[in-house]
Amino acid sequence: MPRRKKDIPPADSAGQRLPLGPESAVLCRARDYVAGTVIALHHHPDRHQLVYAASGVLVVQAGSGRWVVPSTRAIWMPAGIGHKVSCIGAVRMRSLYVQPQAMPDAPTTAATVSITPLLAELIAAAANVQQPYATNSRDGHLMQLILDELQTLPVLPLHVPEPADPRLQEIAHYWDSTPDDASTLQDWAQRLGVDAKTIQRLCARELDMTFGQWRQQIRLVRALERLAHGEKVIDVALSQGYASPSAFTAMFKKRFGQLPSQFFQ
């Protein structure tokens, strides 16, 4: 059982190697956390990790940004990347740890991915596999199938990148506290004392999106966090600066392919 307190250290943080045998390309660990649990900043130096919530919602922060991870989704965290995990509500976490040599073409950056019903069942079964396992065994074949499935998962737009430029950081910090801010690109250019084209170039270079796309992504991901807390769609829409719940719903469905009321079901 996890300790029942708000902030807990990770069980396998930096410098603590996972207890795996030489044939264990994949390990699955199952942990249940109470609402409000925060797993402190840590990294896994010699293993990739798939952070998956069989139920509940996770918010994951890493050097390159912030992700909202509901059930049916997961975050791929490459080996060596520091990350912090917060639990919104009670969470049944099922983490996969993968040897890098077992997935030589694995993504090198963190990303949110979709979890298929097949992979969800495989992860549930993997939680009961004894370590280490023989490669040419039922457990070995199960883990190999997991590796095959991991290499076909689609990446989802549930990520807010963190800029490095101090001017973009100023905008991001302001939006954190004032998400309904209606300032235009020209307003921000005047406020920062730069040309509007400079801000657009910075957004393209650091975030790979336009100023408008960046603002929309921040609003949508923040909206996901509030919806995960059980807030009403109308309250979330207005808090994020949308003119109406219908405008928010239309943008949400266009981006995620589902209505806000369906997303966490």
Query: What local confidence, expressed as pLDDT, does residue 16 receive?
Result: 43
Q: Which residues of the chain have pLDDT under 50?
A: 1-22
Q: Which two tokens stand for residue 162?
A: 């963190």
Query: What local confidence, expressed as pLDDT, does residue 242 receive?
Result: 87
Which candidate, 256, 184, 244, places its Cα nearest to that of 220? 256
Query: What local confidence, expressed as pLDDT, does residue 3 receive?
Result: 39
If you count them, how many residues does the chain have?
265
> Looking at the whole model, is its pTM more than 0.85?
no
The CATH number for 163-263, chosen from 3.30.230.10, 3.30.420.40, 1.10.10.60, 3.40.710.10, is: 1.10.10.60
Q: Are 79 and 46 in contact (CB under 8 A)?
A: yes
Question: Do 7-156 and 163-263 show the same overall fold?
Answer: no
Q: How far is residue 145 from each of residues 57, 86, 100, 139, 234, measured CA to CA in Å? A: 26, 29, 16, 10, 43
How far is the C-alpha of 100 from the C-alpha of 3, rounded, in Å?
30
Q: What is the residue extent of each domain of the chain?
A: 7-156, 163-263
Query: What local confidence, expressed as pLDDT, does residue 264 receive?
Result: 66
Query: What local confidence, expressed as pLDDT, does residue 204 receive?
Result: 93
Which residues of 63-193 form beta strands (DSSP E)? 65-70, 73-77, 83-98, 111-114, 155-156, 159-161
Which candidate, 164, 261, 139, 160, places its Cα nearest to that of 219? 160
Query: Which residue is associated with the tokens 């390990």?
Result: 27
> Which tens digits make up the pLDDT trace of 16-52?
444 444 458 999 999 999 989 999 999 999 999 999 9
The CATH number for 7-156, chosen from 2.60.120.810, 3.40.640.10, 1.10.3720.10, 3.50.50.60, is: 2.60.120.810
Q: Are 114 and 153 in contact (CB under 8 A)?
A: yes
How far is the C-alpha of 12 from the C-alpha of 46, rounded, in Å?
11
User: Alpha helices of 97-210 — where are they, by DSSP H?
Assistant: 117-126, 138-150, 166-177, 185-192, 196-207
Q: Which two tokens stand for residue 249?
A: 């719903």
